[in-house]
């Protein structure tokens, strides 16, 4: 089977996927029988290009590196909007990597709906549409007989979602706990080493872990979106992002850290989804964890998720929670899953 891919968004993550696809073309073909061609790319500033016989990904990566634009690519249909491109291309998979918008999910939500309505499978790292509209999108995908895969929306390339759906298949998940945001975990780790919140935040910004506007992380919107995705996709919850109890880390002081340390505890921003009176609830709240809690040892930008299931107690995974290369790999793992189970709905 040869996938024809349309990439919408050609920023860090999509370029990381493109590099992996170029570098591993032979390996993927030999070992997984995965063949692909990229037939179209749409990006707001870099431009859009479409050639149904296939684009040369290596050339596109060089153009973006050298000129910051795809516009000099010869022989391509140019200038189509992302939505027009999804409708017109003969691709069979949309790779959606536009920015995460937790207010209304756009533009990703429209891209994903348009693709499913036009018979494309979708793989995405974009948290917005999945956190806000998982049920609508999953049921549209089922109705259209297509797949919607989103491994990279939670913990990037650390395979949390496929751990639950594939490796733990047959177990029912009773609860999920985790550290789902690398920026806040880095800041808390630095505060434990004696820095103030503002010093630690500035260090995170300098290292590229935190945005210049860090509110999505420090006010816990990002981990709230991720726990919503996990609760809905893996526990069959019906949660809205706005219903997640959410408390950020900006109010934590060095005194709080010292006090926790003197009691043998560590303060961590813990996301949880759990059953409460027959309903799935979720929260993201700083907690003082004892030493014997695995999550108290997850430091810096590392993230972790622990699943508690009906047949086994805690099963944990630890790994990077962000980074374009990791998210690019998540998209590859979704493509390989799609290849393995083309008829699964």
Ligand X SMILES: NC(=O)c1ccc[n+]([C@@H]2O[C@H](COP(=O)([O-])OP(=O)(O)OC[C@H]3O[C@@H](n4cnc5c(N)ncnc54)[C@H](OP(=O)(O)O)[C@@H]3O)[C@@H](O)[C@H]2O)c1
Which of 111, 152, 155 shows the shortest CA–CA distance to 133?
Answer: 111
- By beta-carbon proximity to ligand X, the closer residue of 3 and 10 is 10
User: Cα–chain-centroid distance for residue 284?
Assistant: 17
Q: Are 58 and 18 in contact (CB under 8 A)?
A: no
Residue 37 annotated as catalytic: no
∠ Cα 59 60 62 (to 5°): 65
Task: Tell whether residue 99 is a contact of ligand X (CB under 6 A).
Answer: yes
- By beta-carbon proximity to ligand X, the closer residue of 49 and 260 is 49
* Contacts with ligand X, 153-192, as mask; x by CB under 6 A: ---x------------------------------------
* Shortest distance in whole angstroms from residue 127 CB to ligand X: 6
Number of residues lying near ligand X (CB under 6 A): 26
Q: Are 71 and 47 in contact (CB under 8 A)?
A: yes
Q: What is the layout of strands, in order, in the sheet containing 265-276?
A: 245-246, 279-290, 265-276, 173-179, 302-309, 315-320
Bridge-based pairing state of the strands 302-309 and 173-179: antiparallel
Q: Which of 5, 6, 7, 9 binds ligand X (CB under 6 A)?
A: 9
* Shortest distance in whole angstroms from residue 196 CB to ligand X: 26
In the three-class reduction of DSSP (H, G, I as helix; E, B as strand; rest coil), residue 123 is classed as strand
**Stretch touching ligand X by CB under 6 A, among 10-18, 158-166, 192-200, 306-314:** 10-18
Task: Tell whether residue 223 is a contact of ligand X (CB under 6 A).
Answer: no
Residues 114-153 interacting with ligand X (rule: CB under 6 A) = 125-127, 152
Q: How does DSSP classify residue 290?
A: E
Task: Tell whether residue 327 is a contact of ligand X (CB under 6 A).
Answer: yes
Residue number of the CB atom closest to ligand X: 11
Task: Tell whether residue 12 is a contact of ligand X (CB under 6 A).
Answer: yes
Catalytic one of 46, 113, 127, 226: 226
**Stretch touching ligand X by CB under 6 A, among 92-100, 246-254, 270-278, 298-306:** 92-100
Element spanning 127, H or E: helix 127-144
Which of 321, 323, 329, 320 shows the shortest CA–CA distance to 19?
Answer: 329
**Stretch touching ligand X by CB under 6 A, among 41-49, 60-68, 71-79, 164-172:** 41-49
172: left (phi over 0), alpha (psi -120 to 50) or beta: beta
Residues that bind ligand X (CB under 6 A): 8-14, 42-45, 82, 97-100, 107, 125-127, 152, 156, 322-324, 327
């Amino acid at each position: 089977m040869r996938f024809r891919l349309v990439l919408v968004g050609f920023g860090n993550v999509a370029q990381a996927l493109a590099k992996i696809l170029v570098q591993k073309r032979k390996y993927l073909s030999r070992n997984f029988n995965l063949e692909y061609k990229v037939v179209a790319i749409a990006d707001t500033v870099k431009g859009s290009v479409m050639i149904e016989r296939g684009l040369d990904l290596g050339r596109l990566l060089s153009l973006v590196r050298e000129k910051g634009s795809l516009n000099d690519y010869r022989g391509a249909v140019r200038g189509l909007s992302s939505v027009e491109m999804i409708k017109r291309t003969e691709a069979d998979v949309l790779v959606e990597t536009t920015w995460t918008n937790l207010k209304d999910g756009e533009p990703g939500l429209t891209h994903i709906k348009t693709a499913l309505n036009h018979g494309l499978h979708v793989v995405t790292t974009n948290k917005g549409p999945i956190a806000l509209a998982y049920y609508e999108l999953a049921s549209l995908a089922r109705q259209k007989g297509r797949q919607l895969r989103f491994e990279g929306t939670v913990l990037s390339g650390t395979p949390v979602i496929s751990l639950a759906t594939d490796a733990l298949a047959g177990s029912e998940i009773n609860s999920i706990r985790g550290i789902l945001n690398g920026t806040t975990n880095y800041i808390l780790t630095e505060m434990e080493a004696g820095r103030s919140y503002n010093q630690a935040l500035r260090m995170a910004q300098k290292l590229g872990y935190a945005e210049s506007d860090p509110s999505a992380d420090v006010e816990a919107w990002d981990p709230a979106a991720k726990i919503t995705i996990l609760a809905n996709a893996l526990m069959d919850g019906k949660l809205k992002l706005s219903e997640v109890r959410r408390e950020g880390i900006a109010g934590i002081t060095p005194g709080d850290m010292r006090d926790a340390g003197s009691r043998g505890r560590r303060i961590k921003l813990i996301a949880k989804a759990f059953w409460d009176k027959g309903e799935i609830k979720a929260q993201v709240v700083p907690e003082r964890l004892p030493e014997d809690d695995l999550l108290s040892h997850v430091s810096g930008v590392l993230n972790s998720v622990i699943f508690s299931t009906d047949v086994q107690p805690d099963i944990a995974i630890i790994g990077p929670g962000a980074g374009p290369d990791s998210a690019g790999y998540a998209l590859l793992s979704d493509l390989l899953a799609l290849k393995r189970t083309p008829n699964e709905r």
